[in-house]
Amino acid sequence: MSISVVYWSGTGNTQAMAEAIGEGIESAGAQANVISVDQANVDVLAEEDVFALGCSAMGAEELEESEMEPFVAELEGKVSGKKILLFGSYGWGDGEWMRSWVERMTAAGAKMAEPEGVIANETPGSDDLDACKAAGAKLVD
């Protein structure tokens, strides 16, 4: 079983979370396919029943607008019944972008692997990375 972890990251914070999620997936005995969104294909991803999506808080509590937002918008119609782990890093906000993202994907019919996603303030610390690894491992049945 291979589980994709697709992310957008401007300065590497969300990327570090993605890599930790990938480690968690592999520690639980599955293969992880950790890729940035510019390398991902919506139709290929939509064939998986379980996957992770990551993006830092950008704009004003939004997903990154040039790559991640269009990818998620296209994916949205294809996530019904799927188990998705949302994650990302944020800065000065209170996590609003993640609450909105969870709500959006839930409304599209996806089941959240973590009800509030996994978020980290700026550079993920070791506790954050441990939470990412644990969430990754939980994606493997």
Ligand X SMILES: Cc1cc2nc3c(=O)[nH]c(=O)nc-3n(C[C@H](O)[C@H](O)[C@H](O)COP(=O)(O)O)c2cc1C
Distance between CA atoms of residues 43 and 31, nearest Å: 19
Whose Cβ is closer to ligand X: residue 47's or residue 96's?
96
CB of 81 to ligand X, least distance (A): 28
The piece of 23-31, 86-94, 104-112, 126-134 that touches ligand X (CB under 6 A) is: 86-94
Burial of 46 (0-12, 13-18, 19+ CB in 10 A): middle
**Binding residue (CB under 6 A) for ligand X from 5, 13, 71, 132:** 13
Which of 39, 43, 81, 92 lies at the binding interface for ligand X (CB under 6 A)? 92
Kindly state the smallest distance separating residue 12's Cβ from ligand X, in Å: 5
Taking the complex as a whole, the smallest distance from the CB of residue 123 to ligand X amounts, in Å, to 7
Q: Which residues contact 100 (CB under 8 A, 6 or more apart)?
A: 61, 62
Question: Which residue, among 62, 58, 59, 57, has the nearest Cα to 73 in the 3D structure?
Answer: 62
